[in-house]
Amino acid sequence: MKTRTMARIQRTETPHTTWCARDHRCGVAEHRSADLTADEIGGRAWLTRVRAGDVEYIEIRARIPLHSNENVARRQLSTALNLMRELLALVAPGLARLPGRDQRRAIGRPAA
Ligand SMILES: [Zn+2]
């Protein structure tokens, strides 16, 4: 019996961009810029420009201190989620209207 435990993934190499870091952050088919950092604002956030194949996007990470009070921390999480929705609507307004984005295929329910 022949068993295959891992699919073989092959990617076509893509050239570096004019903005990518051209170092270990780049892969065969993914190119990443140096992080853009926003700090001294009570937390810290990093934005990275990424090209994966022929698709470009912004990767956003943030470290935001949470309050020690659980109720306040939950409000902070809720506020962060709502602001992320607003951010996505402002930065990528067309994506929300693309066909097929109204359902979460994996769990079969409408997107929040
Ligand atoms: Zn690159």
Dump strand ranges (E) for the chain.
30-32, 36-38, 44-52, 55-63, 103-104, 109-110
- Does residue 76 share a domain with residue 41? no
Residue 101 domain flag: no
Q: For residue 58, which of 17, 92, 8 has the smallest C-alpha distance?
A: 92
Residue 103 domain flag: no
Q: For residue 56, which of 98, 84, 19 has the smallest C-alpha distance?
A: 19
Spell out the per-residue pLDDT of the chain, length 112, in tens: 566 666 666 778 899 999 999 999 999 999 999 999 998 888 899 999 999 988 999 999 999 999 999 999 999 999 999 999 999 999 988 766 655 555 555 555 555 5
Residue 49 domain flag: yes
Instruction: Report the pLDDT value the prediction gives residue 93, as an integer from 0 to 100.
Output: 83
Residue 5 domain flag: no
Q: How far, in whole angstroms, is CA 74 from its chain's centroid?
A: 22
- Number of structural domains, the chain? 2
- Ligand 1 mean position, distance from CA 96 (Å): 29
Q: Which residues surround ligand 1, an ion (CB under 5 A)?
A: 16, 20, 26, 31
- Ligand 1 mean position, distance from CA 46 (Å): 18
- Ligand 1 mean position, distance from CA 24 (Å): 9
Cβ-count burial 12-32 (b if 16+ within 10 Å, e if not): eebeebeebbeeeebeeeebb
Cα 69 to Cα 97: distance, rounded to the nearest angstrom: 38
- Does residue 55 share a domain with residue 27? yes
Instruction: Report the pLDDT value the prediction gives residue 50, as an integer from 0 to 100.
Output: 97
- Ligand 1 mean position, distance from CA 79 (Å): 35
Instruction: Report the pLDDT value the prediction gives residue 5, as an integer from 0 to 100.
Output: 63
Token pair belonging to 72: 């306040």
Whether the pTM exceeds 0.85: the reply is no
Domain that holds residue 42: 13-63
Cα 112 to Cα 104: distance, rounded to the nearest angstrom: 9
Instruction: Report the pLDDT value the prediction gives residue 107, as an integer from 0 to 100.
Output: 55
